[in-house]
Amino acid sequence: MLRFGGTSMIAPSTVAEIKRLLAQGKHSQRKIARMAGVSRGSVGAIASGKRRDHEARQRDPEMELEEPTGPPARCPGCGGVVFMPCRLCHVRRLIAESRIARQPARPEDVLQLELSGEHRARYERVRARRVQERPHRGGK
């Protein structure tokens, strides 16, 4: 672990997992510390809010979305049954406000394959034909 300002830095994903486990209330802080591989003191500091969130200084609060909690519910925005808050609606709002850019889909992203030569050309022809045949089903 890295040291910064007297405290060791725990990965943001680990801190989020610890917060999620604390919110559930099913495990003791000692057990959560063992599960996450951190000290009991770190779990205690996260639970009491005394531990500084080093990543928070670099994040834009408007871009943040709290972790989903509770049972699935119907989203009032898109109508999907999701864990609230709805990530899809959050991202759509950020795109509409031009806070983030929409990423164009590239063929290699769709399949996560590295195609070359004639295989690549054939895949791109078939994909282009299917995209033209199928109406766009996306929202806004």
**Other CB atoms within 10 Å distance of the CB of residue 18:** 22
pLDDT of residue 140: 47
Task: Check pLDDT > 80 for residue 96.
Answer: yes
Q: How far apart are CA 106 and CA 42, in angstroms?
A: 42
Asked whether the bond before 85 is cis by omega within 30 degrees of 0, the reply is: yes
pLDDT of residue 97: 81
Return the closest-CA partner of residue 33 out of 14, 48, 51.
Answer: 14
In which band, very low, low, confident or very high, does the pLDDT at 60 lie, cut at 50, 70 and 90?
low
Q: How far apart are CA 61 and CA 100, in angstroms?
A: 14
Q: Residue range 23-45: average pLDDT?
A: 91
What rounded mean pLDDT belongs to the chain? Answer: 76
Query: Has this prediction a pTM greater than 0.75?
Result: no
Task: Check pLDDT > 80 for residue 109.
Answer: no
Q: Could you tell me how far CA 73 lies from the centroid of its own chain?
A: 19
pLDDT of residue 107: 52
Burial label for 136, CB within 10 Å (0-12, 13-18, 19+), is exposed
**Other CB atoms within 10 Å distance of the CB of residue 46:** 24
Task: Check pLDDT > 60 for residue 47.
Answer: yes
pLDDT of residue 4: 47
**Three-state SS at 3:** strand
pLDDT of residue 117: 85
